[in-house]
Amino acid sequence: MAKLAPIRATLRPLDLPQHLFEVELAVPAEALSSGAVAALPAWTPGSYLVRDYARFVDRVRVLEGRRERPLEKLDKQRWRVPASKRDLVLRYRVYGNDLTVRTNHVDAAHAQIIPAATFLYLEDQLDRPVEVRFEGFPGDWKVASALPRKQGACLAKDFDTLVDSPFELGAFRIRTFKTGGTTFELVFTGPHNGDEGRMAEATGKIVEAAGAIFGGFPFKRYVFFFTFTPKLRGGLEHRDCTSLIADSHAFDKPEGYFALYQLVAHEFFHAWNVKRLHDPALGPFDYSRENPTKMLWFHEGLTSYMEHVIVLRAGVVPWSHTAKELAKCWSEQVQRPGRLEQSLEESSWDAWIRFYKQHEFSPNSSVSYYDKGEMVAWLMDAALREGSRGKAGLADLFALLWRRHGEAGLTDTDVRQAFRELSGNDPEPFWDAYISGRAELDPAPLQRAFGLLMEARAPWESLGPEEAKDPAAQRRARSWTGLVLTPNGPTIQNVIPGSPAARAGLSFGMEILAVDGWRTTTAAEAQRYLADPGPGGKVAVLAADRGRVLAVDVPVVESPDRSHRLAVDSRAGTTQRIAFLASYGQALPSAPVKRGGRR
């Protein structure tokens, strides 16, 4: 087969402080013999939402030498390019002022180029190579990319590879290390209050722990892009690199590093789970529309759990921190009203229209394939350990799937079969309960497999010593109406279905003006007044709804809310301790000595 002539892309700054740059695509004549349709992706893989990147593109023109040719816009993101016997140039302007891992951001300090939001492709010619060059940017700027380079150009063998290869331009810092025959580059952009040497050392341990699961790395070079900016956090996986955003001011305490390490582990694990080992629906892609799958619980939820496994095995995050994180997530999932409304498969399939487009009622009607998936992954790890008597866990399931399927398509049936082989049990009951079903999360397997107890505490059991002696504080802690208020004022953010507030007719967006005659100006005031009568009491609520004022009586009942903490079972035996060590690479902590008793 003849080698295809590449599209030659050149990016130039137009006005960096105004976040504007230009893209020029030199399209070879062989691609235009019958004309072509040029399109911009509507979304980027790994972020399952149609983002309509074409809204950031304008001044689209097609040139033949110096002559401008007619260009017809077909819809929101497609243009008809005329037939030609000569090379044509497509030229257009892009606005980039959204600093996330899935959108362009350019300014006087740096340029982050997300290919899906930047480069037009020719329909039915996704296999055509693309060469990318940068011209006219500040002289002290460098270019970082996972793509190979030749004669000043970054080379993508096809459009799929280009989309999977973001660029960072600027005066960034770079660190490099080698392990397992692979070179890892860490690109640091933006100021922060952390220690980059410490971050690099931990990243080295993380990649070794992840690589050990799969028996090595499926690449010879990998790039971590670290971008620091205030109050933001995010990550997006790619085949040979990952983009990470962290809070610039998070590193004045250990938890800031722990959160970064978990993010590194999560996105790096995706180099296998979803970038290579994936549902066939997730590649090759249709960039023009949604690509739904029922397996995001597997690709994202199980990865969210494996990030904990990896950082523990790497020794960069202590069990005490992980235990708090897992218990917090458990608390949120077992009390989310939507847990009884949507399965993980349904959550995965509807990600495009529900997970990324949350509305007021979403907590009451949906679950997150990330967070609920993480808890189900934990239970799956326990089920595998219990069924195999500690010999196999979730990491072993991934290792088996990698050996068996590699970069071939992965189906739900394949995952079930691996579960059956490792656990010795029929996978159907687990899937029926937690993946296609909506069963309540059951902590019993965690105790049986790992010697971990999930202890629930009521709000009044968590009061400080002085508050615990105060009858009013006890009464308020026991009170519940089902209202969730916004952090910045006494406005209703959510009403729990079936709660006293819901039955009284209160709803989203209403402002609480007064409770029992007391004016409310803050959420804290409103919640205090709502809780004053205690369970069995009643409050008179004055609320505003679209300019009209209504008065309702709301009964107060005992709070069903519970927080959870992980504890070690003092009766944990050898089997549980072996399983805990095998999953997490650490010994099961000792159970605390109770006063007057034994461990």
pLDDT in tens, 202-252: 999 999 999 999 999 999 999 999 999 999 999 999 999 999 999 999 999
Question: What percent of the chain is modeled with pLDDT above 90?
Answer: 97
The pLDDT, as a whole number, for residue 593 is 54
Which single residue is written with the structure tokens 């009586």?
A: 553
pLDDT band, very low/low/confident/very high, at 597 (cuts 50, 70, 90): very low
pTM: 0.96
pLDDT in tens, 426-451: 999 999 999 999 999 999 999 999 99
What DSSP string describes 350-389? Answer: TIIIIITS--TTHHHH---TTHHHHHHHHHHHHHHHHHTT
The pLDDT, as a whole number, for residue 408 is 87
Is residue 596 scored above 50 in pLDDT? no
Average pLDDT rounded to a whole number, residues 125-143: 98
d(CA 288, CA 451): 49
The pLDDT, as a whole number, for residue 2 is 78
d(CA 59, CA 334): 51
Is residue 267 scored above 60 in pLDDT? yes
In degrees, rounded to 5, the angle at the alpha carbon of residue 189 between the alpha carbons of residues 267 and 47 is: 35
Average pLDDT rounded to a whole number, residues 549-573: 97
Q: What is the DSSP letter of 273?
A: B
Beta carbons of 96 and 167 less than 8 angstroms apart: no
**Of 231, 426, 242, 455, whose CA–CA distance to 330 is shortest?**
455
- Within 10 angstroms of residue 493's Cβ, the number of other Cβ atoms is 14
pLDDT band, very low/low/confident/very high, at 536 (cuts 50, 70, 90): very high
The pLDDT, as a whole number, for residue 594 is 55
d(CA 234, CA 246): 7
d(CA 208, CA 313): 10
pLDDT in tens, 391-433: 999 999 999 999 999 998 999 999 999 999 999 999 999 999 9
The pLDDT, as a whole number, for residue 592 is 74
Length of the chain: 599
Helix (H) or strand (E) holding 199: helix 196-214
Average pLDDT rounded to a whole number, residues 558-571: 97
Is residue 187 scored above 90 in pLDDT? yes
Average pLDDT rounded to a whole number, residues 7-25: 98
d(CA 365, CA 381): 27
User: What is the rounded average pLDDT for all residues in the chain?
Assistant: 97
